Structure 1
Amino acid sequence: MLSQETRDIVKSTAPVLAEHGTTITKVFYQNLFNAHPELLNIFNHANQAQGRQQAALANAIYAAAVHIDNLENILPSVVQIANKHVSLGIKPEHYPIVGEFLLKAIKEVLGDAATAEILTAWEEAYGVIAEAFIGVEANMYKEAREQENGWNFFKPFTVVLKKQESDIITSFYLKPADGSNVPEFKPGQYISLRVLIPGEEYTMIRQYSLSQATRPDEFRISVKREADNDPNGVVSVFLHKQIHEGDTVEVSAPAGEFLLDVTQTTPLAFISAGVGITPMMSMLETVATRTPDRPTVFLHAARNEALAAFRDDVEKHAANMNNAKYKMFYSSEANGIITREVLETYVDTTGDAYVCGPVSFMEAMIRELRTLGMTEGQIHYEFFGPAMQLDNK
């Protein structure tokens, strides 16, 4: 339990963190990896290079400072981040290392302004926050381990089928290399793949949404191939070009909080763009097989028909439902954008909307859905990568 004095000191640093947070986290990561290069086996190098991880951590630290009196206010963020941590294999022993280098970075960036009093208060606050994460993650690890066919950390899987879905998206069907089954997963969850790419010093981990409804013996992920020279594309290019049927990859247990509530029968709208369609496929198939009477709309945007994946699958699932509408939008064609008018025509605002795609697309869709009267609790969305601040006002 933090003293009132400690909470007051931490809260007083919020304006400074708002101004210098990203600088602090850049210094933190640089010093952390210099001292502990083995942690590069866990962290996404591309997110580091682009500054997304630094910005996400800065936002998290600032939120902790603002809400230090009521840390339960940031519990949804804690759970979301904890899911990512579990899918990466973060362990309790990593937290003291992070705390040490975070405090050193605060001191290095703020200099004399980071008094002993401030550093002590943040050390105490970090201890409480780290303890919360460790506790949440311990429960997640326990649940993942003890569920039927469950495990912790990474397990070898064999690529049993590799199927091209569009000019840039390929599906990989994965089965446990030991011949066992897989745990049941919730529609919208993701798994992590860990690979060691020839010529690279460290392993790389990426999260991919499960793109079909749960099966007893396999996972399916559907991966967009990024450009060869895109830092974000190192793993996707490797999977597309060098991973073949019969090859083995390491896989984590399913995780994630972007979930379809399968107990409801209220209207649904799935709104996606690009590879953001992948979690929607798991959700749509689940609705089609479990609650086919549920009113459902599926709207998807792509640059053109050649880049749009799963059109035939969407048609098949919709045909098995009693109240489903779907439409594909191609920006290369006239009227090829999902506008407010489109949403007004298709979306029943008494239900729930699930949004996934590029950040700018999500911002636009969420903003328009709110304009149409949908509340924050009705709109669900998923980031690919570290959580960012959405501008949807």
Structure 2
Amino acid sequence: MLSATSKNIVRATLPAVGAAVTDITSLFYRRMFAAHPELERDLFNRGNQKKGEQQKALAGAIAAFARLQLEADQARTDLILSRIANKHASLGIEPEQYGIVHTHLFEAIAEVLGDAATAEVVAAWNEVYWLMAETLIAMEAGLYASAGVAAGDVWRDVRVRERRHESADTVSFVFTSVDNDPLPGFSPGQYVSVAVRLPDGARQIRQYSLSSAPSHDDWRITVKSVSGGEVSNFLHRNIFEEDALTVSLPFGDLVLPDDDSPLLLASAGIGCTPMIGMLSHLAATEDRRQISVIHADRSPSDHAHRAELTELVERLPSAVMHRWYEDLGARRPSGGLRLGRADLDDLAVVPESHAYLCGPLPFMLGIRAALLEKDVPAENIHYEVFGPDSWTAAV
């Protein structure tokens, strides 16, 4: 909890810092990468840095955390920090790296704010930073302990047992152990990080949802090839059966509740992958709860795991599927097959449902708004974002 003095200063300076926070984070990354080029080369997503997405996500997280120190909302604070902590754990972040961030972030704050960055202002925001950092360090320590590893020791080699096209631009890879030891377990909806060494020598890391039911025998991820995607295109062009890959242990907080509450699983595009993992688990355990499955895509041919999704829903006695495609080709809308963009206007949604969303941010925000209108509590709406998390600043 912030001290009373710091809280008053943060409240007074939040508008000015909030207006400058994007400039601050942009300068921060430039300074940090100049001093530690290995971080840009081997840890951070270079593509997101070039597009400015990581800077925006960091700015949103800092501003949101600061606001929550003024108007306490522990549940929202825990949600924001849980997502960051899981992402950090999947990257193998260690406590000492927070000191590096602090040095360059506060140099950027001083330069951008100029004379407004008085000793008192810097001290108050320093308190905000370390409150956030120390909370994250503790959460990450808990994640490492639960995984049975030392801080940062999350990486292991796996072997590609199978490679299969799921649509024209998506490929699934099934991983198995290289030493015949069981793979660590995971919860449906979690992800792993995949680290590859690119031709220019950079080690780039991306997260991919586990698109299969929990198993100690094998893991499966599904990778969509995207324009300019360094890692996705490398995997598509270079990784085949019997190849080895370096991956992290599973992390992520988009996991099913341990109860029998109704579920709504909404995805768009490659956002179907955590939902396929959840549905595989639900089908394997013969779950009988009410489940609504919503998916939106460009066309049936673009829909990765299209046939598998249908088969999984058919195995669940109380599941109903609704699909929207922007282009149906020669097909006509019928039953749960619709033309256009997904909406919930004519769908019955049980207010007690737990909703899980994954896909482009505009899609998820639209579904969230529709769910709130149907009296689903905000705390029952869960989401996964591929790449920098801009959700925090958007809701």
TM (normalized to structure 1)?
A: 0.92
SS of the aligned residue for 1:155 comes to: strand
Deviations 1:180-203 (A, max 9, x none): 1112211110000011011x2320
Q: Is the 8 A contact 1:266 1:294 kept in 2?
A: yes
Deviations 1:272-295 (A, max 9, x none): 110000000011111112243112
More deviation, 79-88/345-354: 345-354
1:128 equivalenced with 2:131 (yes/no): yes
Work out the CA distance in 1 between the residues paired with 2:135 and 2:316: 43
Q: What percent of counterpart residues are identical?
A: 39
Residue of structure 2 in register with 1:162 after alignment = 163
> How far off its partner does 1:377 sit?
2.1
More deviation, 202-211/41-50: 41-50
1:140 equivalenced with 2:143 (yes/no): yes
Q: 5 Å matches for 1:274-353? A: 274-333=269-328, 335-340=338-343, 342=344, 344-345=346-347, 347-353=349-355
> How far off its partner does 1:127 sit?
2.4
Residue of structure 1 in register with 2:208 after alignment = 208
CA gap 1:192/1:63 in 2 versus in 1, 3 angstroms: same
Residue of structure 2 in register with 1:237 after alignment = 233
CA gap 1:61/1:390 in 2 versus in 1, 3 angstroms: closer
Q: Is the 8 A contact 2:64 2:393 kept in 1?
A: no
Deviations 1:115-157 (A, max 9, x none): 122122222332232221111111111111269xx99321111
Q: Is the 8 A contact 1:11 1:68 kept in 2?
A: no
Work out the CA distance in 1 between the residues paired with 2:30 and 2:263: 44
More deviation, 375-384/188-197: 375-384
Work out the CA distance in 1 between the residues paired with 2:181 and 2:353: 38
Q: Is the 8 A contact 2:264 2:293 kept in 1?
A: yes
Residue of structure 1 in register with 2:120 after alignment = 117
Work out the CA distance in 2 between the residues paired with 1:71 and 1:325: 35
Gaps of 5+ in 1: none
SS of the aligned residue for 2:44 comes to: coil
Gaps of 5+ in 2: none
Residue of structure 2 in register with 1:246 after alignment = 242
CA gap 1:353/1:241 in 2 versus in 1, 3 angstroms: same
Q: Aligned-residue CA RMSD in angstroms? A: 2.2
Q: Is the 8 A contact 1:193 1:249 kept in 2?
A: yes
CA gap 1:6/1:350 in 2 versus in 1, 3 angstroms: closer
Residue of structure 2 in register with 1:372 after alignment = 374
1:171 equivalenced with 2:172 (yes/no): yes
Work out the CA distance in 2 between the residues paired with 1:183 and 1:378: 28
CA gap 1:366/1:247 in 2 versus in 1, 3 angstroms: same
SS of the aligned residue for 2:64 comes to: helix
Q: Which amino acid aligns with 2:22?
A: T
Work out the CA distance in 1 between the residues paired with 2:35 and 2:17: 24
Q: Is the 8 A contact 2:361 2:391 kept in 1?
A: no
Residue of structure 1 in register with 2:7 after alignment = 7
> How far off its partner does 1:390 sit?
6.7
TM (normalized to structure 2)?
A: 0.91
Work out the CA distance in 1 between the residues paired with 2:82 and 2:27: 26
> How far off its partner does 1:71 sit?
7.8
Deviations 1:358-387 (A, max 9, x none): 111112111122222222122221111121
Q: Which amino acid aligns with 2:211?
A: S
Work out the CA distance in 2 between the residues paired with 1:187 and 1:44: 25
Work out the CA distance in 2 between the residues paired with 1:76 and 1:301: 26
Work out the CA distance in 1 between the residues paired with 2:140 and 2:93: 9
CA gap 1:389/1:309 in 2 versus in 1, 3 angstroms: closer
